[in-house]
Amino acid sequence: MDIAKSEAWLERAQKVIPGGVNSPVRAFRAVGGHPPFIRRAQGARLFDEDDNELIDYVCTWGPAIVGHARREVLDAVKARIEDGLSFGAPTAAEVEFAELVQKFYPSVELMRCVNSGTEATMSAIRVARGFSKRDLLVKFDGCYHGHADHLLVKAGSGAATFGEPDSGGVPAGTAATTLTLTYNDRDALQKLFADRGSEIATVIVEPVAGNMGCIPPEPGFLEDIVGLCKKHGAVSIFDEVMCGFRVAKGGAIERYGVTPDLVALGKVVGGGMPMAVYGGRREVMEVVAPLGPVYQAGTLSGNPVAVAAGKATLGLLNDEVYTKLEALGARLEEGLKKAATDAGLSHCVQRVGSMITLFFSEGPVRNFADSAATNTEHFNRFHRGLLERGVYWPPSKFEAAFLSVALTEDDIDKTCAAAAEALKG
Ligand code: KE4
């Protein structure tokens, strides 16, 4: 695949942007090679600077569930920008948007719009700490909740260990109030609460993990998180920035029937524009200024253009969309399994709705250590081979892939044929 123009853009970009990218994963460092620079997108297709057409399974990391440049979304944005881009004042549209989010997430009694998933989880954690008047934050190894300091924490070797910074620039003191456990390890969670329940402010979890590949919660795991938080006076937070509106219309809360105190939403909720939401139980959210002592603010929060894109996107998410996504996801799952089986490679496919990962290990992949142990060379062969054949897959074995409703059965079949050829080596 010719990417001469993208290569030239990358060289130019590296002179003014770290690594030439505005977010690290886009640099393709994990898989090798260089990224195509994308010029435009339509439906399930990306088109790069060298006019290569790519079947897209990144979906701009989740938002493009209805497909890129969907007419209804573009029209809503075009109509809105004619009346101005931002007012820094309350608008009727934000109220309608919040009421629409509640239709998908009825447990979100009060919510705030912010500008990124990072801001949503960061704010939810501050609210949880303000409400509980405690400091300890519990997260799970391999779950990513954005780049706020207290979340960039390396898992320790023990069961529940104090975090060490997992990034430069994070003070040891900041990491010290973050405890990390192993995903799906109910015993460790129960033991932590038995030992230190009265100190825990909050537990945050990706209810369907997508940042160590797609890993579903095992029965009882989510129930324990919510139940133990309730029992010990801590606040439970579901980070549904990635799985929200994707694993079901009402996300993981609907799919698993487990309701946390707070939820963070992003990606799909803004339809590709800088928009995220955090919210939940009224009693907890009432600590947020100006009602209470927990401060959170933002110049562009609830931005009219982003709200228009989010409303138009959510408005398209009907039952038919999820039926189609499930059928496409199942077809892709079967095709990838066949490709890896025919290539004689140890593998498993884990999928929840339209989030999917082909792992190169026997499986099941239950946590970060399992994911890290999967065969990286096989994944990188898979990724490179797909790209060479016009399929754009997330450039890291730790990233979940996403389907959009704009894909067709023919797209899926082409993808599986490309995977079969790529994996033959
Ligand atoms: P943003 O700040 O990137 O909008 O959202 C952070 C975030 C929070 N929670 C979850 C579960 C997330 O997956 C994310 C961001 N996801 C990554 C993909 N793994 C975004 C891609 C990137 O970092 O460029």
Instruction: Convert the pLDDT of each residue in 21-45 to its tens digit.
Output: 999 999 999 999 999 999 999 999 9
**112 near 296, Cβ under 8 Å?**
yes
pLDDT of residue 158: 57
Q: Which of 356, 388, 372, 402 is nearest to 30 (CA)?
A: 372
Lowest mean pLDDT among 52-61, 174-183, 228-237: 174-183
Q: Are β-strands 53-56 and 45-48 bridged in parallel, bridged antiparallel, or unpaired?
A: antiparallel
Instruction: Convert the pLDDT of each residue in 263-313 to its tens digit.
Output: 999 999 999 999 999 999 999 999 999 999 999 999 999 999 999 999 999
Q: With 90 as the cut, is the pLDDT of residue 418 above it? A: yes
pLDDT of residue 159: 57
pLDDT of residue 165: 84
pLDDT of residue 250: 98
% pLDDT > 70, the chain: 98
Q: With 60 as the cut, is the pLDDT of residue 133 above it? A: yes
pLDDT of residue 268: 98
pLDDT of residue 218: 98
pLDDT of residue 172: 87
| Residue 161's pLDDT band (cuts 50, 70, 90) | low
CA 210–ligand 1 middle distance (angstroms): 10
pLDDT of residue 157: 59
Q: Of the CATH numbers 3.40.50.720, 3.90.1150.10, 2.60.120.10, 3.40.50.1370, which one belongs to the domain with range 4-69+318-424?
A: 3.90.1150.10
The token pair that represents 234 in the structure block: 């801590």
Do 4-69+318-424 and 71-314 fold alike per CATH? no
Amino acid found at 39: R
374-392 average pLDDT score: 97
Indicate the average pLDDT of the chain.
96
317-321 average pLDDT score: 98
Sorted by where each begins, the domain ranges of the chain are 4-69+318-424, 71-314
69-87 average pLDDT score: 98
User: Which of 145, 277, 357, 396 best tests ligand 1's pocket when mutated (most atoms within 8 Å of CB)?
Assistant: 145
Q: Is the CB of 28 under 6 A from ligand 1?
A: no
As beta bridge partners, residue 155 has none
Annotated active-site residue in 185, 224, 239, 411: 239
Between CA 21 and CA 16 the distance in angstroms is 9
Give me the architecture of the 71-314 domain, per CATH. 3-Layer(aba) Sandwich (3.40)
The token pair that represents 42 in the structure block: 């339509």
CA 241–ligand 1 middle distance (angstroms): 7
Q: Is the CB of 30 under 6 A from ligand 1?
A: no
| Residue 160's pLDDT band (cuts 50, 70, 90) | low
